[in-house]
Amino acid sequence: MILTEEVAKLFSGLQKALRDAEADLKELASSQQTKLEKALSEAEESRDEVDRQRTKLEDVRDEARKARQEKLDVE
């Protein structure tokens, strides 16, 4: 009977360790998911900013071409 109790205690300890490890893994996964979502959001914001800057550059380029053409037309 004593051996059975010790085996039961051992398994009980192992079950607790497994539950604790599972909880830790879930917490880690949640933390990593949050970091990933933040990184994806920042990447999307950066991409949007790049698009805005590209549009501005294209507008400036078009204005410069137009001004150059007007200058050539005057000459």
Q: What percent of the chain has pLDDT over 90?
A: 88
SS (H, E, C) 7-29: HHHHHHHHHHHHHHHHHHHHHHH
User: Any idea which of 16-30, 45-59, 61-75 has the lowest mean pLDDT?
Assistant: 61-75
What are the angstrom distances between the C-alpha of 73 and each of 19, 50, 60, 65?
80, 34, 20, 12
Predicted confidence at residue 1, as pLDDT, reads 64
Per residue in 24-57, pLDDT (tens digit) is: 999 999 999 999 999 999 999 999 999 999 999 9
